[in-house]
Amino acid sequence: MGSLSNLLVNPNSSYILGLWGADKYERTSSIGLSNTDLNLIRRFAEYLLSRFPKDRLRLRIYNGEVPKMFECLRSSCCRSSKNKLPAYHIYVNSRPLLREFRTALACRNLLVKTALDAYLAGRFDGDGSISAYRKYCRIVYGNCDDLVKDRLLLSDLKTSVYKYHKAGTYCLYFSEVTLDRFLERIKPYSLSNKLQ
């Protein structure tokens, strides 16, 4: 990889990379985001619109209506028995962009400091949670390899790992000891109301 991708140096783009890492949608030539949080879908759509004309974007809504903010996009509504809440799926067909995201995610160890914190904020917003009394927080991963790569990025913070066998997921936990430090790092970049 010649010069560093904007996804690894620009905090706004790095946030999108983290969000995509958490809730990615990818096919042979499509890249997008799936989530129930309209704020996260809107933020990902803004990023895509900074790179593509709006007629290239697609929005699929499961068990819901087209939100007013997305009426200008080509969209379709579907029924799904899997989702209790409305779910949104925003994507664009672009092999070059998909390749760029895959490469940047594989090279996340090259993230510059501010971009790293923004990337972690995206991961947290996509798949993170905080306990009721702020005793710990966690980020959920679908595979161990992703968790291990992100944990290496956090070598200055004490973390622990737990595997949920039935769910087939892995969790990266931040204990009370390091919770505040982690949250302070991601707070300037996070869109999540979980931090309030």
Distance separating alpha carbons of residues 107 and 110, to the nearest angstrom = 6
Better pLDDT: 111 or 134: 111
In the predicted structure, residue 2 carries a pLDDT above the cut 50: no
Distance separating alpha carbons of residues 182 and 156, to the nearest angstrom = 10
Domains and CATH numbers, the chain: 6-106 (3.10.28.10), 112-195 (3.10.28.10)
In the predicted structure, residue 146 carries a pLDDT above the cut 60: yes
Q: What is the pLDDT of residue 89?
A: 87
pLDDT tens, 166-181? 988 999 999 888 999 9
Classify burial at 56, counting beta carbons within 10 Å of its beta carbon; exposed 0-12, middle 13-18, buried 19 or more: middle
Residue burial 137-168, b: 16+ Cβ < 10 Å; e: rest: bbbbbeeeebbeebbebbeeeebeeeeeeeee
pLDDT tens, 152-171? 999 999 999 999 999 889 99
Q: What is the pLDDT of residue 196?
A: 62
Please state the separation of Cα 161 from the chain's center in Å: 19
3-state DSSP: the chain helix, strand, coil percent, rounded to 5? Answer: 45, 25, 30
Q: Is the pTM of this model over 0.85?
A: yes
Q: Which residue type does 77 have?
A: C
- Report the range of poorest mean pLDDT among 69-78, 131-140, 151-160, 179-188: 69-78
